[in-house]
Amino acid sequence: MYKLDQFMNDLEQRHPAQPEFIQAVHEVVESIIDVVNRNPRYLHARILDRITEPDRVVIFKVEWENDDGQVEVNRAYRVQYNNALGPYKGGIRFHPSVTLGGLKFLGFEQIFKNSLTSLPMGGGKGGADFNPKGKSENEIQRFCRSFMTELHKYIGPHTDVPAGDIGVGAREIGFMYGQYRRLLDENTGVLTGKGRNWGGSLARPEATGFGAVYFADEMLKAAGDGLEGKTIGLSGFGNVSWGAAMKATQLGAKVVTLSGPDGYIYDKDGINTEEKFQYMVELRASNNDVVAPYAEKFGAKFFPGKRPWEVDVDIAIPSAIQNELDGNDAKQLISNGTRYVIEASNMGCTPEAISAFREAGVWFAPGKAANAGGVAVSGLEMSQNAMMLSWTFEEVEAKLREIMRRIHANCHREGKQSDGFVNYARGANIAGFRKVADAMIEQGY
């Protein structure tokens, strides 16, 4: 029998000073420990000890030259967490906050997320402590090239298939894919999120944000409610919030906030026109990492240094980075009457925030379920690459819609309580875990 406290204490001893990793494992183990303890096969297989230990971690140095001709050094990683269901799959993050512990948290989450998509993908994550802010395009290209010169030794279309994440978009994927091809002379589509003319899937850029809003749509329906006419608070201004704002608008809701490291903007008219969506793309491409210029351009209000969770909205969709919504933010949202919180970022809410939502009866969707649309369409990109063909936007979108519907249904089924409340966090962990655990047992040790 596993005991939660004892298991977590042992884990902390073996993975010291990695608080985000411990947080992510705790959230999963807390939900699944009863399922494990009731199943003699899981106990005999010591499944919790095995699933929490990454298969392999590669740590490497990236040397590159800045525009002043000086050599710079960064540290990079690829965490190959678990490949019981398929090749390691997960994004690459370029951000100054990147650490081994942070990538272990993301890789661990990715195992269960990828399992939920129902596509054959294992879990992995990578990145570097490189800060793209203020870098020129040439510097970014040189960094990406050096990064791939080393990473290409450890990845492959049947072993490990990286994609983008924070700080890595189509441009960076392009530079990295180009270097991979230069080194190995093959067109196997080893990365996903590629450009549409060289093996990328249509609707991949939109997929994470679209998927999160589809999940929200399903969740509100399950609550006897609907998206039409609802006000939504988003954080971030990157790829995820861009897709979410477009799909939310299409489905009749109004998005009123975006945020950056500099603060948040409130647009009372809604972020709901082609011009505004396009401007988000430009803001991101500028590499300045600030959202304030949006306010100037569209006559919206800018609140420097603040988070958007003080705004009165029906639905909050954190779409920026882990732990961006804490216990105090949750209290503020609850007192404003927010009824639904959908994590589009990975582990966007702290444990205190999630408990507060649960106590207040706020419907909460965890990132590993709600943001799985991104990696799901990455999986569809792999299918298209393997078949050497490409589907239309409508075909991909319809598959994404159906995948999100099924993820919601599985999390709902596993998370439904006798009092009628749906604990989606628990449901997602159980549904995601079972498949991986069974695959590991069936394949032996």
**Active-site residue set:** 125
Q: What is the DSSP string of 281-313?
A: HHHHHTT----HHHHHHHT-EEEET--GGGS--
User: What are the counts of helices (DSSP H) followed by strands (DSSP E) for the chain?
Assistant: 17, 12
Tell whether residue 426 is a contact of ligand 2IT (CB under 6 A): no
Q: State the minimum distance, in angstroms, from the CB of residue 224 to ligand 2IT.
A: 30
Tell whether residue 179 is a contact of ligand 2IT (CB under 6 A): no
Q: What is the identity of the amino acid at 425?
A: A
C-alpha to C-alpha distance for 214 and 225, rounded to whole angstroms: 14
Q: State the minimum distance, in angstroms, from the CB of residue 275 to ligand 2IT.
A: 27
C-alpha to C-alpha distance for 35 and 244, rounded to whole angstroms: 34
Q: Contact at 8 Å (CB) between 415 and 425?
A: yes
Q: What is the identity of the amino acid at 124?
A: G
Nearer to ligand 2IT, 54 or 303 (CB): 54
C-alpha to C-alpha distance for 344 and 211, rounded to whole angstroms: 9
Tell whether residue 346 is a contact of ligand 2IT (CB under 6 A): yes
318: left (phi over 0), alpha (psi -120 to 50) or beta: beta
Tell whether residue 375 is a contact of ligand 2IT (CB under 6 A): yes
Spell out, one character per residue from 78 to 107, where the chain touches ligand 2IT: x when CB under 6 A holds, - when not: -----------xxx----------------
C-alpha to C-alpha distance for 282 and 286, rounded to whole angstroms: 6
Q: Binding segment for ligand 2IT among 50-58, 316-324, 370-378, 423-431 (CB under 6 A)?
A: 370-378
Q: Binding segment for ligand 2IT among 25-33, 72-80, 302-310, 372-380 (CB under 6 A)?
A: 372-380
Tell whether residue 374 is a contact of ligand 2IT (CB under 6 A): yes
Nearer to ligand 2IT, 220 or 344 (CB): 344
H or E segment and range at residue 71: strand 71-82
192 Cβ neighbours under 8 A, 6+ residues apart:
161, 162, 163, 173, 200, 201, 204, 378, 381, 382
Nearer to ligand 2IT, 231 or 345 (CB): 345
* Residues of span 190-209 touching ligand 2IT by CB under 6 A: 192
Q: Contact at 8 Å (CB) between 331 and 309?
A: no
Q: State the minimum distance, in angstroms, from the CB of residue 166 to ligand 2IT.
A: 8
93 Cβ neighbours under 8 A, 6+ residues apart:
102, 103, 106, 125, 126, 127, 128, 165, 166, 167, 168
DSSP letter for 196, please: T
Nearer to ligand 2IT, 45 or 84 (CB): 84
Q: State the minimum distance, in angstroms, from the CB of residue 124 to ligand 2IT.
A: 8
Tell whether residue 132 is a contact of ligand 2IT (CB under 6 A): no
Q: Contact at 8 Å (CB) between 254 and 314?
A: no
Nearer to ligand 2IT, 141 or 346 (CB): 346
Nearer to ligand 2IT, 323 or 336 (CB): 323
C-alpha to C-alpha distance for 203 and 194, rounded to whole angstroms: 11
Size of residue set near ligand 2IT by CB under 6 A: 11
| 3-class state of residue 188 by DSSP | coil
Residue among 80, 146, 259, 378 that touches ligand 2IT (CB under 6 A): 378
Nearer to ligand 2IT, 236 or 267 (CB): 236
Q: State the minimum distance, in angstroms, from the CB of residue 345 to ligand 2IT.
A: 9
Query: Residue 40, Cβ neighbours under 10 Å: how many?
Result: 8
Q: State the minimum distance, in angstroms, from the CB of residue 91 to ligand 2IT.
A: 3
- Closest residue to ligand 2IT: CB criterion: 91
Tell whether residue 163 is a contact of ligand 2IT (CB under 6 A): yes
Residues that bind ligand 2IT (CB under 6 A): 89-91, 113, 163, 165, 192, 346, 374-375, 378
